[in-house]
Structure 1
Amino acid sequence: MAWDEWERLKSAATEHRTAATPPAPRPPDTHAGTGSERLRSQKRAWSGAGQAVKRLRTDITRAMVRLESGQTGLTPLQGCRSGVAQQELHASWTRYLGDVRSRCGELGALLEQAGRDLSMTDAALRDELGRIQVRYADTAAPGGRAKAG
């Protein structure tokens, strides 16, 4: 999840809350604060989101097993370009699915940690999301490019 998406979700939640229920008036003797004293978050929601993302790993693992079993017995024949191309495609997808599975694990763990701690600052969460995004940056689609050789 990119930082911009995180900011959009927070903004949408704030707008929804503002439209649905106006904030209660503050007592006249209350000093102006940061607003964090009214902040509410449920650990269960964060934990549930983290667990759901981590469960995606099981589905991805199943897909990888099916991909591997479908590849069994296929070997590139000398001079057969389609066999070589198919083997390269298989290796590419295996690597990609492995990265997606790892990304789900890291993001799920981060969401669970945010729910447990509820003390991560926006900056800390942004840094962690950025680290995950950089580590698992998607590659450009190779379709349509002729291979040299």
Structure 2
Amino acid sequence: MRLAGAGTSGWDKGAPGGVKSSKNAWNTAGDGVGRLGGNVKQALTTLEQGQKGMGAQGVLSAAAQREVYQSWKHYLDGMTGRCAALQERLEKAGNHQYKGDQQITEAFDEMKKQYKDTPATGGQNAGR
């Protein structure tokens, strides 16, 4: 699927096949990503509340739990930032703040540099 304006000189002309850029579609996508980011923040808050009182020193299970907590906190903090960055780009595209498809592509490519996907876990044969 091509974005509107791909290969044309303007957004209003649409891409081959009659696909047009819709402000509503971009903004709806941005809104959905924003809600997801809010849900992730809520999960992080719940995780932080569950962490309270887990300060027993010298207990191996408490140490392991702190390590897991820090790992998830780091992951969820990153996901919250990624949702905010994606929402911003989607809304800018919907409001035609980018100057065509090239600038949209560059904005999303820049985000790929900042937020690298983590490798998949489980289900891999690990060279077996």
Pair in the same fold by TM > 0.5: yes
Query: How far, CA to CA, are the matches of 1:138 and 1:76 in structure 2?
Result: 34
- Tell whether the 8 Å contact from 1:114 to 1:120 is kept in structure 2 after alignment: no
* Larger of the two Rg values belongs to structure: 1
Q: Percent identity?
A: 33
**Aligned counterpart, 2:44:** 64
1:83 to 51, 57, 62: 62
Task: Structure 1 unaligned segments of length 5 or more: list them.
Answer: 1-9, 15-32, 144-149
TM superposition score normalised by structure 1: 0.64
Deviation, structure 1 residue 140: 4.3
**Aligned counterpart, 1:47:** 27
Deviation, structure 1 residue 119: 4.5
Deviation, structure 1 residue 120: 3.5
**Aligned counterpart, 1:38:** 13
**Aligned counterpart, 1:27:** none
- Residue 130 (str. 1) matches residue 109 (str. 2): yes
Select the structure with the greater relative contact order (CA < 8 A; seq sep ≥ 6). 1
Query: How far, CA to CA, are the matches of 1:122 and 1:76 in structure 2?
Result: 54
Q: CA RMSD in A?
A: 2.8
- Tell whether the 8 Å contact from 2:98 to 2:104 is kept in structure 1 after alignment: no
- Residue 117 (str. 1) matches residue 78 (str. 2): no
Deviation, structure 1 residue 112: 0.4
Q: Which one has the bigger helix percentage?
A: 1
- Tell whether the 8 Å contact from 1:43 to 1:118 is kept in structure 2 after alignment: no
TM superposition score normalised by structure 2: 0.73
Between the two proteins, the alignment pairs up a number of residues equal to 114
Task: Structure 2 unaligned segments of length 5 or more: list them.
Answer: 15-19, 123-128
Deviation digits for residues 47-79 of structure 1 (CA, Å, limit 9, x no counterpart): 11111111112111111111111111001422x
Deviation, structure 1 residue 34: 4.3
Give the partner amino acid of 1:102: G
